[in-house]
């Protein structure tokens, strides 16, 4: 457990909230295994929500590698498929609450796409607990911390995602 985003958002270069930590190289696994979760956060709500969790010094796990996107509607399902393929143990997508999209409707489109993706991932044999979608607004730092904590616990309990068989 470590503090995430402990520095005020303004003093950091943009796009560095929750900076990723490298997985320990194979053979040096002396530490306890930690899941790698890739998070796609919309710039206007969830990324700001994660920031507010940080500025409020809420303690939550640092397993989520955050990718800031302009809108949850920007999340191409391929992002998620690729993340799992390249070894992510979980993928988290978070955006503005329906109706609150900065671009009015982006997250409504995203919702349709992600609903299909959810069913599809399970169909492809990926445990649905490894893929989560949430609506987190800019003021919901508390919720963000809770989402991350519960997802980390769950994925940690599941263990590493089964390898799909990459060359590396």
Partner 1 sequence: MPNNPTLDKNMTETETALRREAARLLSQGEVAVFLGHEEGWDGVPVPFAASTAAEAGRLVWNPLSAPHLAKYLLDRLEGDEKVGIVVNGCGSLALDRILKDRRFPRERLHVVGIPCSGMLDPARVAALSDEERERVLKDGPVDPGLFLDRCSWCDVPNPVVSDTLLSEPLPVVRHRPEYPRVAELEAMDREERAEYLRGLYERCIRCFACRNVCPACNCRECCLDQWEPLWLGRATSPAEQQMFHFIRAFDVAGRCIRCGECERVCSVGLPLMELNDKFLKDITELFGVERPHIPADVEPLGCFEPGDPDLEDHG
Partner 2 sequence: MSTSLASGAPTAPKAVRLVRAADLGRWLDALSAGSRVWAPQSVGGRPRYRELTPGREGRLDLEAVRTVDSPKAALLPQTEPLLAYRRAKDPGTGRPSLDLTPVPPAEPVVLFGVRPCDAAAVELLDGVFLTGDFVDEHYKARREKSVIVTVACSAPDRACFCTSFGLSPGSTREADVVLYGRSGPGPKAEPDAYYCVAYSDRGEALLTSEASRSAGVVEPPADEGQKLEDTVAAFRNLPTPLAERVGRVDVVDKLDGLFESPYWEKVAARCLGCGTCTFVCPTCFCFGVADCAAGGRGVRFRYWDSCKFPHFLRMAGGHDPRPHKKHRTRQRFMHKLNYHYHRYGRYLCVGCGRCVESCPVGLHLPQVADEVRGLEG
Tell me the window of 7-15, 20-28, 52-60, 124-132 that interacts with partner 1 (CB under 8 A).
124-132
Is 139 near partner 1 (CB under 8 A)? no
Q: Which residues neighbour 119 within 8 Å (Cβ) at sequence distance 6 or greater?
A: none
Is 163 near partner 2 (CB under 8 A)? no
Q: Where are the extended beta strands (E) located within the chain?
A: 37-42, 64-69, 90-95, 131-135
Among 6, 56, 59, 124, binds partner 1 (CB under 8 A): 124
Least Å distance between CB 16 and partner 1?
A: 21
Query: Please, which residue, 23 or 112, has the CB nearer to partner 1?
Result: 112
Q: Where are the extended beta strands (E) located within 8-165?
A: 37-42, 64-69, 90-95, 131-135
DSSP string, 63-87: -EEEEEES-GGG--HHHHHHHHHTT
Q: Which of residues 22-41 bind partner 2 (CB under 8 A)?
A: 22-23, 25
Handedness of CA 106, 109, 115, 116 (dihedral sign): negative
Is 165 near partner 2 (CB under 8 A)? no
Length of the chain: 168
The helix/strand count (H/E) of the chain reads as 4, 4
Is 20 near partner 2 (CB under 8 A)? no
127: nearest Cα among 160, 167, 95, 94:
160
Among 15, 56, 108, 139, binds partner 1 (CB under 8 A): 108
Site residues (CB under 8 A) for partner 2? 22-23, 25, 86-87, 166-168
Site residues (CB under 8 A) for partner 1? 77-78, 81-82, 85, 98-99, 105, 108-109, 111-120, 122-127, 129, 132-135, 150-151, 154, 162-167
């Amino acid at each position: 457990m470590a503090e995430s985003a402990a520095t005020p958002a303004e003093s950091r270069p943009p796009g560095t909230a929750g900076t990723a930590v490298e997985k320990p190289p194979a053979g040096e696994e002396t530490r306890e295994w930690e899941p790698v979760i890739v998070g796609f956060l919309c710039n206007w709500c969830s990324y700001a929500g994660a920031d507010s969790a940080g500025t409020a010094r809420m303690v939550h796990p640092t397993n989520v590698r955050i990718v800031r996107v302009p809108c949850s509607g920007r999340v191409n399902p391929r992002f998620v498929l690729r993340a799992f393929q390249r070894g992510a143990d979980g993928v988290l997508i978070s955006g503005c609450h329906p109706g609150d999209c900065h671009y009015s409707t982006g997250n409504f489109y995203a919702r349709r796409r992600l609903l299909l993706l959810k069913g599809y991932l399970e169909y492809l044999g990926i445990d649905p607990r490894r893929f989560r979608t949430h609506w987190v607004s800019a003021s919901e730092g508390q919720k963000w911390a809770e989402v991350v904590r519960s997802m980390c616990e769950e994925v940690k309990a599941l263990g590493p995602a089964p390898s799909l068989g990459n060359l590396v």
